[in-house]
């Protein structure tokens, strides 16, 4: 499988962010006889106020979601399409929705972020609360990517979900072992420098799967928040195969399902799990 993580620095102007993404996606190289997969960051279309988030929201199949389908088809890639604001049934709230499109532009998976980051001061007053604008998702899911004769079982999680390993294990209990865990994020510089890589490596080791993570980078347009970048790919043994720094750009790497079989043979941790009530 050929992986491309598209690391961007979106601001508050949607048109500029889309132009940056289109430019980067146009550089993707299609590789024959392989599954070509591109991954985008969380909330790639706009980084700004809650008002901007609400104004930019679309229904599935419309607006930005329609554009994502077009990008997948034009590039001939599976597009693990980061997240974008999806109009919800709740007034003044949207879902932070991750979508996946096949190379023919078909929508093959939808995941609405479950864990919302809510930061409060010692007195309980909100400092930054995603739940002010985002409605909480309820369910995880899996999707398949066909790579020649190999079928990869994949799952999407979003940013703060990374800190809650039970979301992955619960899905594995229902759907079976994962081959690739995709993580789309806007992980901050403050926490990223200490937690980003170690959490990603932990998810790869404990689930004996590839972890493919695409993060935003750089300062927000307001200059108050900085993202960590460092999009990377981790193998099932916990080794970082390749990593970007804090530049805007594309990380390209090839991965093989044989590495999963090797890790699980060397260390049969998944089959040795014991479920304790």
Catalytic residues: 42, 113, 159
**C-alpha to C-alpha distance for 174 and 230, rounded to whole angstroms:** 31
Bridge partner residues of 87 (DSSP): 94
| Distance between CA atoms of residues 83 and 62, nearest Å | 14
Bridge-based pairing of strands 94-101 and 78-87 is antiparallel
Query: What are the distances in angstroms from CA 267 to CA 30, 154, 179, 200, 263?
Result: 34, 21, 16, 19, 6
Count of C-beta atoms within a 10 Å radius of residue 97: 25
């Amino acid at each position: 499988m050929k992986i491309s993580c598209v690391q961007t620095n979106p601001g508050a102007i949607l048109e500029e962010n889309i132009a940056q993404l289109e430019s980067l996606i146009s550089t993707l190289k299609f590789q024959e006889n392989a599954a070509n997969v591109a991954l985008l960051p969380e909330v790639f279309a706009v980084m700004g106020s809650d008002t901007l988030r609400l104004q930019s929201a679309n229904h599935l199949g419309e607006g930005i979601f329609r554009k994502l389908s077009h990008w997948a088809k034009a590039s001939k890639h599976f597009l693990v399409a980061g997240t974008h604001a999806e109009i919800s049934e709740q007034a003044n709230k949207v879902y932070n929705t991750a979508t996946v499109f096949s190379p023919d532009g078909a929508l093959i998976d939808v995941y609405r972020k479950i864990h919302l980051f809510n930061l409060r001061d010692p007195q309980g007053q909100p400092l930054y609360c995603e739940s002010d604008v985002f409605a909480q998702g309820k369910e995880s899911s899996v999707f398949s990517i066909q790579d020649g004769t190999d079928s990869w079982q994949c799952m999407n999680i979003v940013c703060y979900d990374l800190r809650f390993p039970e979301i992955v294990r619960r899905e594995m209990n229902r759907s079976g072992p994962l081959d690739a865990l995709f993580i789309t994020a806007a992980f901050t510089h403050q926490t990223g420098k200490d937690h980003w890589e170690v959490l990603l490596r932990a998810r790869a080791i404990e689930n004996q799967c590839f972890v493919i993570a695409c993060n935003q980078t750089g300062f927000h347009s307001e200059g108050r928040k900085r993202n960590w970048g460092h999009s990377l790919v981790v193998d099932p043994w916990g080794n970082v195969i390749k990593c970007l720094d804090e530049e805007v750009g594309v990380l390209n790497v090839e991965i093989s399902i044989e590495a999963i079989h090797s890790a699980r043979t060397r260390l049969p941790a998944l089959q040795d799990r014991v479920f304790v009530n």
